[in-house]
Structure 1
């Protein structure tokens, strides 16, 4: 599991590493560079070297390095700043025989890097180790620990001698020391870029960082094929082959588990290596300076240097769609989510409690969190009595996220362990214009825009859809709001409906976008059946939306909902509603009452109208006139066309007769 030398070339997508060397004058910068590149100590060194390139095969990661020497004089500080801003890593030198140059690190150089906003790894190198006074021997840990606590950007600290061509690497974390060759100074600088410590490990707490833990947990779950909470010997070997292209020998597997069990008893059980043991191993690799092992694993499973999914894993091209197309989960993705629901329903109560939902998303970066804890997903699905999500509520949240933000939906699917090709998790639906022509919608998720004046009952409609009890308390809706649920259809089929409440004052802004109605499968216009002014305003909105659909080519089927049916209707309600519905060619208003609990019929009618959109598209007077005009024009063109054909036919006949007469004569 530790054969990290098989890491891919160009880890993290890097094609080259630029290392800038800086520090006080006379600290050995140029000698360090020449000795590393030429493997010999130079007799004469110029004040500032030209850029030095180390070929790609110089170090195991096979990424070429360019080393930039810099001047130390005050008048050259502008040039120094330019070079530092272009650096991938900084090697900061001091002279072991001149303590004042060590002091300059914390009084000038490190603060200067911060002032210049140079946010790259810093390798501190003490040069001229052979000249240090033997009577003033102090451990590197004692010297550097206070500085490293103040400047977290320091990746590691090294003391070396270019003359003697030795390097003493002393880990400030573990206190271990070892002798290596001088070129390793730049190897550690390269490693700090290609395999950075910062995203993985917290030096202060000596623990893996939360985002690293969440990523490794996801990898563990993906490799735990039988989902028994441990990696068996076979699963551990499969993991090794996937990440490092070489199998583990049985003795190596025994050795790995023995190391873990000696340090962490719960790291191994009778089934194999547990998650705790898996995390412990990676913490151990990092503490020993073998970060490339953990980074190889992370990158093999699609993570970038921020320990987030690499952009190329998200199939953005699969989300391309016309304004009147939508995105849905495929049956493959839905089946996966059903399995995930059962897996995380720890208490088998057919509900995911908030803590179980948090556990489900614990493999996503902590900044992602539970995606439904914020608008527009928060409170958009039906909750159980204890605040959990039923299977329908769980799938509804996913349907809403896929509809509104398919990239985020697919990203979260990958984070929770979706095993297939990400593009196989979603599908783009047929255009709504084609649905109308074919008189049948093929989608499984319908978006319904809910219009209406204030106090008409829009919010009550959404609350009822989510199974929430009626309340007499009125709270005006100021922002758009969503409610999503599954609607059972005759024959046992299920469709998902997304209700999108549009506040009255937001209608103008919505319709200012010419494609605003393209995303709408059906529009519902709610009015208070006891209030004539509410009916009139709902009718105005209906005409406004219908006219806009006719003008933009995105006509939508519409239904009228007469809410508060338990109250007495206004005097002309039946006559006015009959006239409007007949004039516009749509259904008569559907009476509902939340107090009487008869809302279910409206949700089935919404699905039926959305499935057969051609039956409920309203026609305005202006639209009717426009159609009559187009029919008249088309009829005229047909007459003109017919006349033209007749004239052309007569001319051809006359030519035929002339030829016939001439041939007979």
Structure 2
């Protein structure tokens, strides 16, 4: 399992830019000239112009541009500017001047960090021919403590430009550090493959294990070798590879072939031996970039859409996910526990649901598992918020269909209102309301969580998602997005903020008059924004805490506001008593008929009345003009007849 990296090692690069820095007189310019001319120069200018090594200089066939720098105080600005555009840094010291070695850790390496130069560093000891023969300290002994402190150092090497010892190797290692970087693959401290690298290699292993028996047979190993390196493995080579693995790691090989453990061990071995190009070639052949994520060009699907369109999973994708759910529900309990879910996403760069807004967004079973509905709900939420992430993760976990068949863009909400019907299967509901109105309790009850008397204010948008069973049969997915009172102004500062909303609800504490007042103010604000932006949304008022006595004028106030704005009366609910009053079905029902339940403000009514007057006036003008034209035509006919008879 080896071979030339070829053009795949480019990682999309057509050039590598290397900046050479170090104390004055450490041999920077001589090193560059000797590498380019393959001869030691008789005289060298203080600072060289940019030097180019052609594509055929090194096996990877990527040209190099080498930038010489001056360390003088006057040139410090130019030096810093060059470092900003470096792909790698060659940092020099002079083997015959120990003080220049000390300056690496006291000045140069800390300075690179201060400037946030986050590229590989190759430390080069120049003038090896001038080193005192009595100094018999090995390079490893000298550099080991520095490399421990500065992990950005990729390689250390000593050279002599005069004697032409290891000069071409300096820039070869610098180029290699850029094209085949260690950092994404390997943790130097623990001497293990990094998690994302393991996940990518596991996915590649599964893709190559055609008969799904958990091992790569000789034929599968050979196919893998041909795919990655364009050359078959000889039978003796396959035997040799398996023998190496078996000697070090018995479980790496079984009667069926090379196991996943053995496959990962081989790659760790290549990296430890400095053959990173082998692992990078494999990763790039399977579409991975330098961040060990699949390249963007592998996802040709465009998610270009109007602000009031959203993205949903297709039936094909849902069926695939149901199959995946059953495959990873190892204990067959109808739920994916955390370990099973981790296993399912073990071929993705990381689990996509480990952080907000997905973490704890769906209903959990008693053993902290996700039911099938909960699992599909999380996918629906991710598809709504980040369809590109959904598509990538579908492919990471094994979706092999046409990427375009996995997701669909919905009809515009504006068109839904005209047609008086929505055909979506996923609805997003914005949850507004003042502090302590009961918004979070509503979201928690949606996920079947017990009511808590403890109040902790929500400080940022929070999402919950669940499947709602319809009365007439069928299921819809509802996403509740809780918007803190303090976040409403920021939300509505964007003209298109309501475009993605299917329905808005306004929650208030039914026992508190000030809560009602604030909720109606929010309702008026949102309704006005919808009218102004053209993205009007159906609205419902939710009277929470129905277990408490309502404030004195509650019925009169709510009747007046709902009648004035032309929407339904508030829906009473009590999360404490578990009396939800079919609230979630009612939310879905209102969202399915987006032409109804749209509140009207006085300004909106006046605007509509004004438009009606203008339209009526235009109609009268049109009728008047038509009458005038008919009259003129009649007069002409009459005049023509009159002149004919005369």
Q: TM-score, normalised by structure 1?
A: 0.84
Instruction: Between 460-469 and 214-223, report the one with greater CA deviation.
Output: 214-223
CA-based RMSD: 3.7
C-alpha contact 1:453 1:504 (8 A) present in aligned 2: yes
| 1:458-482 CA distance string (max 9 Å, x none) | 3333222111233455555554433
Three-state SS of the structure 1 residue aligned to 2:251 is helix
The offset of 1:605, in angstroms, is 2.0
Contact 1:6 1:245 in 2 (8 A): no
User: Would you say 1:345 and 2:326 are equivalent positions?
Assistant: no
Gaps of 5+ in 2: none
**Superposed, which structure 2 residues align to 1:3-152 within 5 Å?**
3-8=3-8, 11-23=10-22, 28-43=27-42, 45-46=44-45, 48-70=47-69, 83-94=82-93, 96=95, 102=101, 105-106=104-105, 109-111=108-110, 113-114=112-113, 117-129=116-128, 137-152=136-151
Deviation of 1:63 after TM superposition, in Å, equals: 1.3
Describe how 1:266-305 pairs up with structure 2 within 5 A. 266-305=251-290
Q: Which residue of 2 is the match for residue 483 of structure 1?
A: 464
Task: Please name the residue that 1:176 is paired with.
Answer: none
Offset, 1:27 = 5.2
| 1:620/1:273 CA distance change after superposition, 3 Å | same
Is it true that 1:195 corresponds to 2:180 in the alignment? yes
Determine the structure 1 residue equivalent to 2:171.
186
The verdict on how the C-alpha distance between 1:539 and 1:92 changes in structure 2, with shifts beyond 3 A counting, is: closer
- Separation in 1, partners of 2:524, 2:243: 76
After the TM superposition, which of the residue ranges 604-613 and 31-40 deviates more from structure 2? Answer: 31-40
SS at structure 2 position matched to 1:500: strand
C-alpha contact (below 8 Å) 1:440/1:612 kept by paired residues: yes
Structure 1 residue 551 and structure 2 residue 535: aligned? Answer: no
Answer whether contact 1:7 1:244 (CA < 8 A) is retained. Answer: no
Q: 1:421 to 1:188 in 2, by over 3 A?
A: farther
**Is 1:519 aligned to 2:500, yes or no?**
yes
Report the Cα offset of residue 224 of structure 1: 4.0
| 1:385 matched to 2:366 | yes
Once residues 194 and 222 of structure 1 are traced to their aligned partners in structure 2, the CA distance between those partners, rounded to angstroms, is: 25
CA distance in 1, matches of 2:487, 2:34: 70
The 3 A distance-change label for structure 1 pair 649 and 252 is: farther
Picking from 185, 195, 213, the partner of 1:210 is 195
Match of 2:317 among 309, 313, 333: 333
CA shift for structure 1 position 118: 4.1
Q: Distance in 2 between matches of 1:78 and 1:550?
A: 55
| CA drift at 1:536 | 6.2
Alignment-derived partner of residue 438 in structure 1: 419
Q: What secondary structure does 2:89 align onto? A: strand
Partner of 2:588: 607
User: Shift in Å at residue 154 of structure 1?
Assistant: 2.6
SS at match of 2:427: strand
* Number of corresponding residues: 646
Alpha-carbon distance between aligned partners in 2 of 1:542 and 1:111, rounded to the nearest angstrom: 56
Quick one: structure 1 residues 564 and 165, their matched pair in 2 at CA, closer, same or farther if it must change by over 3 Å?
A: closer
Matches within 5 A, 1:541-580: 541-564=522-545
Shift of 1:16: 1.6
Q: 1:590–1:664: structure 2 CA closer, same or farther, 3 Å change rule?
A: same
Please state whether the residue corresponding to 2:431 is helix, strand or coil.
strand
Pick closer, same or farther for the CA change 1:166–1:545 going to 2, 3 Å.
closer
Alignment pair present for 1:632 and 2:617: no
Moved more, 372-381 or 410-419: 410-419
Give the Å deviation of 1:392.
1.2
Asked if the contact 2:7–2:61 (Cα under 8 Å) also holds between the matched residues in 1, the reply is no
Residue by residue over 1:82-116, the C-alpha shift from the partner in whole angstroms, topping out at 9 and shown as x without a partner, is 54554333334455566665555555554554565
Shift, 1:20, TM fit: 3.3
**Could you say which residue in structure 1 is the equivalent of 2:158?**
159
Q: Please state whether the residue corresponding to 1:615 is helix, strand or coil.
A: coil
Cα deviation, residue 630, structure 1 = 2.7
Q: Is the 8 A contact 2:3 2:278 kept in 1?
A: yes
Query: Helix, strand or coil: the match of 1:335?
Result: helix
Residues of 2 paired with 1:582 and 1:547: CA distance?
Answer: 17
Q: How far did residue 512 of structure 1 move?
A: 4.4
Q: Quick check: 1:447 aligned with 2:428?
A: yes
Check 1:657–1:2 CA distance in 2 against 1; reply closer, same or farther (3 A cut): farther
1:587/1:616 contact within 8 Å kept: yes
1:80–1:482 distance in 2 versus 1, CA, 3 Å = closer
Deviation of 1:51 (Å)? 3.2
**2:250 corresponds to which residue?**
265
CA contact 2:8–2:284 (8 Å) conserved in 1: no
Q: Distance in 2 between matches of 1:519 and 1:568?
A: 36
| One of 618, 625, 629 as aligned partner of 2:599 | 618
Offset, 1:513: 3.9
Aligned partner of residue 645 in structure 1, secondary structure: helix
Q: Is the 8 A contact 1:451 1:524 kept in 2?
A: yes
Match of 1:517, SS state, is: coil
TM-score by length of 2: 0.86
Residue 501 in structure 1 maps to residue 482 in structure 2: yes
Shift of 1:434: 0.4
Structure-to-structure mapping, 1:287-436, within 5 angstroms: 287-312=272-297, 318-365=302-349, 370-420=351-401, 424-436=405-417
Q: 1:166 to 1:512 in 2, by over 3 A?
A: closer
CA displacement 1:599-647 (0-9 Å, x = unmatched): 2622222212211222332344554444344333322321220121121
